Amino acid sequence: MTNTFQDTAAVNINGPGKQKNTFDAIVIGSGISGGWAAKELCEKGLKTLLLERGRNVVHIKDYPTATMDPWEFPHRNQLPREILEANPIVSKCYAFHEDTLHFFVKDNEHPYVQVKPFDWIRGYQVGGKSLLWARMTQRWGEHDFEANARDGFGCDWPIRYKDLAPWYSYVERFVGISGNRDGLPQIPDGEFLPAMELNCVERHFQESVHKNFPDRRVVVSRTANLSQAHNGRGPCQYRNLCHRGCPFGGYFSANAATIPAAEKTGNLTLRPQSVVHSIIYDDQKGRATGVRVIDALTKEATEYYARIIFVNAGTLNTTLILLNSTSNRFPNGLGNDSGVLGHYLMDHNYRGRVRGEYEGFQDKYYSGRKPGGWYLARFRNFGKDVQKDFLRGYAFSGSASRSRGNVQEGDPTIGAVFKEKLSEPGVWGMGITGMGEHLPYFENHVRLSKDKKDEWGIPLLEIDCEYKENEVAMLKDLLATGAEMLEKAGFKNIQATDSKQAPGLGIHEMGTARMGKDPKTSVLNGINQMHNVKNVFVSDGACMASSACQNPSITYMALTARAADAAVTEMKRGNI
């Protein structure tokens, strides 16, 4: 049965129900950014309702595969062909395996329309994608917040690095980020726990890059893995099984960190299985009064009310909710006077991969594992470097490892020689991924389908997004510089490839409800508040006015903590 909110009979809005359903604040979405919004609002004393469309995932209890050994999985952690064939989109994600299957949205569960290919990777559960993320966390630099103003592409950010710097520190102190203070303006230093170590081949690569390319700096990856116990969590056990959920709390997730902190205040009401349909706007009062929710399982419709609403449903779902929130005042979506809601969608360009083998260090190996490798901060169109072929820049991340087993093509695949070869370490290899900035283009957008709805009666999202000339020119340069650095460091058998993957698979989708100074060209102001609906705040990736080339989630966290602080200040002043 399809069901729209309007045609659902049981809307519980009257009498004592209304009081019961009224909170100081509502947060939509319990992932990385929503967890932060809930924590901050609860800690500031607001009775907060956290609405999550997926099931509950309780830290430790609901990590069913966390301590399983490979042989305990029916398919040794591989996915059977029927699952892969049924999921052509999500199975492109490197982290989609038998041990993480339960944390990913399957292709047929929540369809969307790809006007152009777009791989939308999602995790609908309490904690969202914070359970699955790879935890790479670099701050944006001054340069990034000035980028749109400098080259005129995109609208100027209403904030600068100095506005966010204290909030980066604030969230880093809670999250726990391992890293070095490297003194690079591209990725300013933060509040770090001790860094992980590079292995011998990574160190060799670092030395070679610093010698041959003085403007490029290879640093240890900054990761939200706890190199020492921190705030009652961790330390990281170096199991490299983070995607399963960590029973030690060794990495940051909403489940392990922000949601328990919010619960501790006694101010949190967490309501899983609650699909937010839209935000209620009261034309008379000139403000949002609450949200319409459909129970994910029973399809029963309910309304919840609050003075402040934070929308943190994860970029595209946030914009879907806003577009679906129509009223007399806002017929084209909540706060959408500018007409830019849904536009300027970006995802980092992860198409460039470079690999090489290193013949040296035959007498060296490493023991144990580590969750990160190295990171090479942006150097193109930065400082003295000026590129004619493209705007902005890219970063690299990579790691070196030595395979176990020296089996070559043509060797026997059974018997004593095979066993012998398996017990010898193989060759060292290095894999590098480029992460290119994606410019904000008006044409890259999402809209609501006019005729297709999901099983909760909500229009499907149509996604129309592509990489354009700038991203392709940047990719060409990235493949060349990546290969050159490996070559200079003495690597052999270098392969530089364009994966040609579609946008979306970077899993850094952002934009579509951008921040800006001008209400005519943007949706949100400098504190993530809707220009035209003062009690609604959007602080997930939807708010981004450009994409830079750092992994984005630490920036969403800092923006969210800052926005929550501003919202409560505005509330206390009686402005909202």
Ligand X SMILES: Cc1cc2nc3c(=O)[nH]c(=O)nc-3n(C[C@H](O)[C@H](O)[C@H](O)COP(=O)(O)OP(=O)(O)OC[C@H]3O[C@@H](n4cnc5c(N)ncnc54)[C@H](O)[C@@H]3O)c2cc1C
d(CA 526, CA 410): 62
Of residues 25, 34, 99, 193, which one binds ligand X by CB under 6 A?
A: 34
Of residues 27, 50, 57, 121, which one binds ligand X by CB under 6 A?
A: 121
Q: How far is the CB of 518 from ligand X (least distance, A)?
A: 25
Q: How far is the CB of 473 from ligand X (least distance, A)?
A: 25
Of residues 148, 317, 325, 525, which one binds ligand X by CB under 6 A?
A: 317
DSSP-derived letter for residue 255 is I
Identity of the amino acid at 1: M
Strand order in the sheet with 492-498: 218-220, 374-376, 394-404, 425-436, 352-358, 492-498
Using the rule CB under 6 A, is 314 a contact of ligand X? Answer: yes
Helix (H/G/I), strand (E/B), else coil: 575: coil
Using the rule CB under 6 A, is 31 a contact of ligand X? Answer: yes
Identity of the amino acid at 383: G
- Find out whether 98 and 78 touch, Cβ atoms under 8 Å: yes
Helix (H/G/I), strand (E/B), else coil: 113: strand
d(CA 14, CA 212): 71
- Find out whether 276 and 53 touch, Cβ atoms under 8 Å: yes
Q: Which stretch binds ligand X (CB under 6 A): 24-32, 40-48, 419-427, 463-471?
A: 24-32
Of residues 244, 280, 553, 558, which one binds ligand X by CB under 6 A?
A: 553
Window 418-457: contact mask with ligand X (x via CB under 6 A): ----------------------------------------
Using the rule CB under 6 A, is 28 a contact of ligand X? Answer: yes
d(CA 313, CA 558): 16
- Find out whether 135 and 224 touch, Cβ atoms under 8 Å: yes
Q: Which stretch binds ligand X (CB under 6 A): 6-14, 165-173, 185-193, 274-282?
A: 274-282
Using the rule CB under 6 A, is 278 a contact of ligand X? Answer: no
What would the DSSP string read from start to end of 426-442? EEEEEEEEEEE-----T
Using the rule CB under 6 A, is 275 a contact of ligand X? Answer: yes
Of residues 26, 147, 475, 507, which one binds ligand X by CB under 6 A?
A: 507
d(CA 234, CA 181): 22
Which residues contact residue 197 at a Cβ distance below 8 angstroms, ignoring those fewer than 6 apart?
220, 370
Closer to ligand X at the Cβ: 209 or 294? 294
Using the rule CB under 6 A, is 303 a contact of ligand X? Answer: no
How many residues of this chain bind ligand X (CB under 6 A)? Answer: 42
Using the rule CB under 6 A, is 221 a contact of ligand X? Answer: no
* Number of residue whose CB is nearest ligand X: 31
Q: What is the residue whose two structure tokens read 């490029």? A: 216
274-282 and 287-295 beta bridge pairing: antiparallel
Residue 540: what are its φ and ψ, rounded to 5°? -95, -165
Q: Residue 570 burial (CB < 10 Å; 0-12/13-18/19+)?
A: middle
Q: Which stretch binds ligand X (CB under 6 A): 119-127, 193-201, 245-253, 495-503?
A: 119-127
- Find out whether 30 and 128 touch, Cβ atoms under 8 Å: yes
Using the rule CB under 6 A, is 175 a contact of ligand X? Answer: no
Using the rule CB under 6 A, is 51 a contact of ligand X? Answer: yes
Q: How far is the CB of 34 from ligand X (least distance, A)?
A: 5
Closer to ligand X at the Cβ: 208 or 551? 551
Closer to ligand X at the Cβ: 54 or 234? 54
Q: How far is the CB of 551 from ligand X (least distance, A)?
A: 3
Two structure tokens written together for 148: 């749109």
d(CA 469, CA 471): 5
Closer to ligand X at the Cβ: 95 or 308? 95
> 52 to 81, contacts with ligand X by CB under 6 A?
52-54
Q: Which stretch binds ligand X (CB under 6 A): 39-47, 81-89, 315-323, 523-531?
A: 315-323
Window 123-162: contact mask with ligand X (x via CB under 6 A): xxx--xxx-xxxxx--------------------------
d(CA 557, CA 565): 12
Of residues 25, 32, 559, 561, which one binds ligand X by CB under 6 A?
A: 32
d(CA 333, CA 312): 16
Residues of this chain that interact with ligand X (CB under 6 A) are 28-34, 51-54, 93, 95, 121, 123-125, 128-130, 132-136, 274-276, 312-315, 317, 321, 507-508, 540-541, 551-553, 556
